[in-house]
Amino acid sequence: MMKSSRAKVSIQQWTEQGHIPPDKIQSALQAADISPSQHQWRPFLDKLLLANGGGLFLIGVVFFFAFNWQEITRFHKFAMIESLVIASLWAYSHWFNRPTANVFVLAAAVFVGVLLAFFGQTYQTGADTWQLFATWAMLITPWALLAQLGALWLLWLVLVNVSIVLYYQVFHGVFGLMFSSSQLQLAMFAFNTVALLLWEFAASRLSWLQGRHEVRLLAVASGFSVTWLMLEAISSNHQDSYGIVVCYPLWLLAGYTLYRQRIPDLFMLAGGVLTLIVISTAFLGKYFLNSHGDVFLLLAMWVLVWSSLAIRWLQKIAKEGKHE
């Protein structure tokens, strides 16, 4: 079966050439599996309502505790939170083969975080905030391994990222070595880039990791860190910045090779183009700010020209029909 994007381009061309009558376009879209049929709408709505219901349930639990915090005794608070964890795990095991199970295991993972936060607040253990998120990530690791759910692994990665940031805010280094904020961003960039590559490698072998939303969020995190580091390098001109200046084009080249040839993904290519435009604009702005009075006009023209070229390039790639 043709890729949906390729089929859409083909149907559009055939319609413009008159090969498909206007009254048959909808039938052609359904035959090419582009326009969803009535039978395909039901699973989509089931998942949508399930996700909304699960999210509203979690929000309701949080607001329930927040509103009744003073009236509920310490024992009852612990009992209710632990009961929610146990009930979620029981529901997951009971409906293991249904899509509903994914919501329950995610709910259990969230309730573990609520339980840890309440435990730390109640007994004033003196632990730093980063330890809460690190312990949370450690406790849900077995569930992430067993559940085979991409969203749960994404939660795990978010917790690790938060732990790294909070750890830096407390110790400003590791093993007695002091780190700057740039080195923190470099560590975040390295971690998220490695996680992105490992995810793509695993997705080629594991069907449950082949969703694109989670991996795109990882790419956004990696791209944000490397863009931030490049902007700092442009503004500081420090010798310590030479490493990231060398690393950035390699990152762009690797991303282009991976998402243009191996795993076609238009979103990833658009993100790379965006970082390139931002960094080139910052570079020109710094070196022409004091030497040219019309620098803002030049920068605006630079952004408009290169954005237009980027859009045309991305549209050309999209018409090839290989990108999702």
* Whole-number pLDDT of residue 3: 47
Q: How far apart are CA 174 and CA 21, in angstroms?
A: 68
User: What is the helix (H) or strand (E) element at residue 173, kind and residue range?
Assistant: strand 173-174
Per-10-residue mean pLDDT of the chain, 324 residues long, equals: 52 63 64 61 77 81 78 82 89 78 86 86 73 92 89 93 87 59 83 94 86 91 93 77 85 93 90 94 82 76 93 86 56
* Whole-number pLDDT of residue 117: 82
* Whole-number pLDDT of residue 67: 81
Closest Cα partner for 240 from 154, 169, 164, 180? 180
In sequence order, which residues have a C-beta less than 8 Å from that of residue 152 and are 6 or more positions away?
A: 105, 106, 109, 140, 143, 144
* Whole-number pLDDT of residue 65: 75
Q: How far apart are CA 246 and CA 256, in angstroms?
A: 16
Q: How far apart are CA 234 and CA 24, in angstroms?
A: 56
Q: How many CA atoms lie within 13 A of 40 on its CB side?
A: 7
* Whole-number pLDDT of residue 257: 93
What backbone torsions phi and psi does residue 177 show, to the nearest 5 degrees? -95, 125
* Whole-number pLDDT of residue 35: 58
* Whole-number pLDDT of residue 217: 94
Q: What is the DSSP string of 79-112?
A: HHHHHHHHHHHHHHHHTTTSTHHHHHHHHHHHHH
